[in-house]
Chains A and B, each alone.
Chain A
């Protein structure tokens, strides 16, 4: 009977793991250089962590893996973590809120989202950072810089950033008399192309709808775009003033950092827990990550109201784009070691020496040399005890002692 893997779940091959680890390593190195510390939250969380308004969108909630745990007689369900930020906000509230702020936290984690066809991954990997306890434009800019530097560290330089602002969208929708839940639904429907939603609302508040249409229909390329918007609409919709100023301040910082960006309000879809600045990162036209400001989330987890922002990079997508040629270990660096039964002690000594010097040593088993090796070393009981074969040239040499092997393979 053939045993299949679970639908929507992937095995990673050795090459794919090399790619994965390479992305992870680039991210780890970058976040450390920005002063972030790695944390890890569990795979299982209570479902209710994600259900209250302002956490996950209803669309996401419909796709969580929820079930009863072994001690689920209380009736509370658990989920396979569907999002990385909300558990980190819980973790911060639970364990770190009394410590010095801001907290700079990073993570590498898998998340689980059901996808109907089973052809796309239901288990996805993310690396991300959360900056909790700082609410300035400078904090937003730090996160954008960290995200972009991480991607550049992976050898990917053509990054495009799309910027939006949930607070600004919320203020406009709120001025139409829509509550939090209605705002999420209406905005997503507008972005799904349901233009009649806007037309219905237009009769009552024509100026607000005009502003919304212009914002959604135009891609700004500098903070001047927002300044133009401010000049056009701030007087008629005064409640957007603060959010606009906040967005302009952040954009000006991003501009100064010399990053390639576009102001695109349609990129803010699915913005339930975001309250301010939102950004999405694109490489080769593919969305490889995103994040934003979520100033209400820590409060919703039972903590003191705390400004916070963060982002996640999608490891699975980045891993397919990076070049890993330099990560392959050349065959000249690999040794197949054959040890005769009575010469184990000497064989182990040779293996240790080679490995210490940076060579990859695999034992020849069942009479067959290990594959993909540039060298074959034999260790015997009788003379000649040590021989080295260069698999490329076919030249074989006898050695007097293990050090001589190192000389021959090139490191002595």
Chain B
């Protein structure tokens, strides 16, 4: 009998590696930037371990792909607060994990116990949409919107959200971001979790006692803080906007920055501190009447759709993913920027005897188990499964390194690829190219926009079109 364990990359990796080393697991190559995600133990034959993004781990344990997992209490709570009958059970608190998830707002948004909003709705943004919904319920908000984010939550207040959910070490760190804490939602304590069914039927005693023997007595209690939040009530104060002709432009953070900078440079648009070494999210530019913010490209279509931004530079992959979820969304592609070209593909393991999606459909008809589709693009994957009549299927959301999910943790991937070499290296094959994606300018069409604003938006798009011509 094999025991499958999901181990975290990132913030909990070093402490987890130390714990497991002391517990005698002798895992080969469990470290940052390890060559392989699959880990072998020199001492425990029954052990099959694999590294995941921490966020993936509660999902992998819940769906039964893994018997045990180690991850932060925040991601576990994000799952269990929405799905109380989830198969994930917390076995132990491991005594490490620094910081907490906080709710925060801008100091000027809070007056006494009142949260001041311009509109009727309180906007909550963050990487934890289920906890955000629970927070809104606990605060008994009369009306609220939740913006799930891939990251950069601190950039949103006050213009684009009243409350953000932030991962910070302490309240001082929140203050250093120019925000004020409303309280702690949950501690980032590392937990050992188990799949409920595995706990019932599998003998995991050797692994459990090896970990348990390393835990200090004080570390094993339940330290969680859930929703220790200041009680606030909402007060709507309607102010006329300072400049309703201003165009709100979202520029991408991460690796796209250099491309965007080159395009802007080509037409003489001066932009200060972008890319920023200090993490400045509001760079100034020579574009008259523009307000610029730097956020994640994955979050841009939704942020343009909900009216937080007028224009944004993102990828067609993320726009398509958004439009599959919200076909009536007002967001449209305005200009193809032609860089960052990738193909969005359906992928299976080499040993699966199919070479096209229709062959996959035929194969699925003879199979009992639900088809597991792992992807960062959950709506594109959902659409793919429906159009190809894959029968019973489940989408397994992932946060990167999706190739490592095949073959044991998923049956199909919907993934992006530049050359296909990573896919081939993982012993996988492409069975369909769904579409090609490049960077693009997107915009939201609103009748209420002023003439000057529409002109400014159009002239920005023309300017970038000119840049494209200059550069080619």
Contacts and interface: CB of A to CB of B under 8 A. Distances in A.
Interface of A: 1, 47-48, 51-53, 58, 61-62, 66, 68, 70-77, 114, 116-118, 181
B136 to A, nearest CB: 6
B84 A52 contact: no
B48 to A, nearest CB: 28
B330 to A, nearest CB: 8
Interface string B323-336: 00111110000000
Interface in B122-136: 123, 133-134, 136
A75 B145 contact: yes
Contacts of A62: 84, 134, 137
Contact of B306 (A53, A61, A70, A73): A73
Contacts of A68: 325
Interface in B388-440: 391-392
Given A1-B391, A62-B84, A77 B133 contact: yes
Contacts of A48: 141-144
A70 B141 contact: no
A118 B140 CA distance: 28
Contacts of A116: 84-85
B361 interface: no
21 contacts: A1-B368, A51-B137, A51-B140, A51-B144, A52-B141, A52-B142, A61-B137, A66-B133, A70-B326, A70-B327, A71-B328, A71-B329, A72-B325, A73-B322, A73-B325, A73-B329, A75-B121, A75-B302, A76-B121, A77-B146, A118-B85
A110 to B, nearest CB: 21
Interface in B92-144: 121, 123, 133-134, 136-138, 140-144
Contacts of A72: 325-326
A74 B306 CA distance: 5
B326 A71 contact: yes
B470 to A, nearest CB: 34
A119 to B, nearest CB: 11
A122 B327 CA distance: 30
Contact of A75 (B138, B306, B322, B368): B306
B305 interface: yes
A58 B306 contact: no
Given A62-B84, A75-B306, A70 B328 contact: yes
Which secondary structure characterizes the binding site on chain A?
loop
A75 B147 contact: yes
Nearest to B147: A75
Contact of A74 (B84, B145, B322, B392): B145
A52 B306 CA distance: 23
Given A70-B326, A73-B302, A77-B146, A181 B140 contact: yes
Interface size, B (range): 20 to 34
A91 to B, nearest CB: 18
Nearest to A116: B85
A384 B332 CA distance: 74
A52 B234 CA distance: 11
List the 6 shortest-distance A-B pairs measured between CB atoms, nearest first: A75-B145, A73-B305, A53-B140, A52-B142, A48-B143, A73-B326
Interface in B43-99: 84-85
A113 to B, nearest CB: 13
A70 B140 CA distance: 25
Given A48-B141, A58-B138, 15 more contacts: A1-B391, A51-B136, A51-B140, A70-B325, A70-B326, A72-B325, A72-B326, A73-B305, A73-B322, A73-B325, A75-B123, A75-B145, A75-B302, A76-B143, A77-B146
A116 B123 CA distance: 30
A116 B82 CA distance: 12
Contacts of A66: 133
Contact of B137 (A1, A58, A76): A58
Contacts, number: 65
Nearest to B121: A76
Interface string B210-248: 000000000000000000000000000000000000000
Contacts of B327: 70
Nearest to A3: B392
Contact of B392 (A1, A51, A53, A61): A1
Nearest to A71: B328
A118 B84 CA distance: 12
Interface in B304-333: 305-306, 322, 325-329
B256 to A, nearest CB: 22
A51 B141 CA distance: 6
A51 B143 CA distance: 8
A58 to B, nearest CB: 7
Contacts of A61: 137
Interface in B287-313: 302, 305-306
Interface string B349-392: 00000000000000000001000000000000000000000011
Contacts of A51: 136-137, 140-142, 144
Contacts of B325: 68, 70, 72-73
Nearest to A302: B142
Contacts of B141: 48, 51-52
Contacts of B136: 51
Nearest to B143: A48
B107 to A, nearest CB: 23
Contacts of A70: 325-328
Contacts of A77: 133, 146
Contacts of A114: 84
Contacts of B368: 1
Contacts of B305: 73-74
Contacts of B84: 62, 114, 116
Contacts of B121: 75-76
A53 B231 CA distance: 12
B194 to A, nearest CB: 18
A117 to B, nearest CB: 8
Interface in B249-302: 302
A220 B316 CA distance: 69
A75 B146 contact: yes
A66 B142 CA distance: 16
A114 B327 CA distance: 29
Contacts of B85: 116-118
Interface in B141-178: 141-147
A128 to B, nearest CB: 25
B128 to A, nearest CB: 14
B298 to A, nearest CB: 14
Contact of B140 (A52, A73, A117): A52
Nearest to A179: B231
Residue among B121, B137, B391 having the largest count of chain A Cβ atoms under 10 Å = B137
A62 B368 CA distance: 34
Residue among A68, A74, A77, A181 having the largest count of chain B Cβ atoms under 10 Å = A74
Contacts of A74: 145, 305-306
Contacts of B392: 1
Nearest to A180: B140
Contacts of A118: 85
Contacts of B137: 51, 58, 61-62
